[in-house]
Amino acid sequence: MPDVLTFGEAMAALRADRPLRLGGTLSLSVAGAEANVAIGLARLGHSVRWAGAVGEDEFGGLVLRTLRAEGVDVSHVAVDPAAPTGLVVFEPRVADLTRVSYYRSGSAGSRLAPAAMAGALAEGARIVHLTGITAALGPGPRAAVEIAARAPGGAVCLDVNYRAKLWSREEAAAALRPLVPLLDIVVASDDELALVAPPGAEHEAECVEALLAQGVGEVVVKRGAAGAEVFTAYGAVARPAVRVPVRDTVGAGDAFVAGYLSGLLDGLPVAGRLDRAVTTGAFAVAAAGDWEGLPFREELTLLDAAPGTALR
């Protein structure tokens, strides 16, 4: 049984060195919220299973090869011969502002069937990690999320991870609110809390109170450059962000989640989990790419070094 089970859509990722219409160079990698979390946890020494779907194509081969190389278990991945692996394109626009374009309509990930998850769910995990992105991909993935949330066994974590290009706020709320009584951990930015809180709860305090009243054990609020805060029945704990030069903010939220779940698996108190989460988030924004800059366990203290330090 792995420490963490997660699933969703991992895509081939093309990164441009300038706006697409101006041409230039594209580099090829892999991206996807759940895959990012899986890689982050594996680098921190945890056993992780990713059980999504890819196409029977070279991009799908790249996804599987990359995840295997990062120590992620892909033994339950569905390979769809009739649908392509999704594609995402990142292009720099202004300063650290990145424009993201998705090509995932009809992709293997959007056709993920609940039956494909049966084997992975039967083997269980200490933590099942879900995101709103997977639920937004289509009826099959949404049903898989609902089944995974109800699976007996370990703790269930949901990162709301709202994507306006995938669905409306009304659609997201209708799909995610019924899951709340099944969740142990809810992760959201302050503007996403209302998507899982009951109707009528709008302000952060109201949303948090309502979620805790529904049985959620921990409400983790990501505040970007302002850090993060965790609310439980015993009170709130906050941590500021770790200050680093920002190169790329894409994937920072996934890195944060990986750090937080790593701390939970290690038995750290809430403050310790937050410390690790803001640290892994800082590694993500200080490097280019969704997951490439994520730390290994022995590197967690690197950001304590003075700027410009040479490690000899």
* Secondary structure (DSSP) of 164-197: TTT--HHHHHHHHGGGGGG-SEEEEETTTGGGTS
Pseudo-torsion of CA 267, 270, 276, 282, nearest 10°? 160
End-to-end Cα distance, the chain = 39
Find the catalytic residue in 80, 248, 254, 275.
254
Give the chain's length: 312
* HSE-CB of 249 using CA atoms within 13 angstroms: 13
| Residue with the two structure tokens 């992780």 | 48
Where helices occur in the chain by DSSP H, the ranges are 33-43, 58-69, 118-123, 132-136, 139-150, 169-176, 204-213, 252-265, 270-285
10 Å Cβ neighbour count for 235?
Answer: 8
Asked if 73 is an active-site residue, the reply is no
Q: Yes or no: say if 99 and 90 are a contact pair by the CB < 8 Å rule.
A: yes
Task: Report the sign of the C-alpha dihedral through residues 261, 267, 270, 276, in that order.
Answer: negative
Cβ atoms of residues 176 and 195 within 8 Å? yes
Which residues are the active-site residues?
254
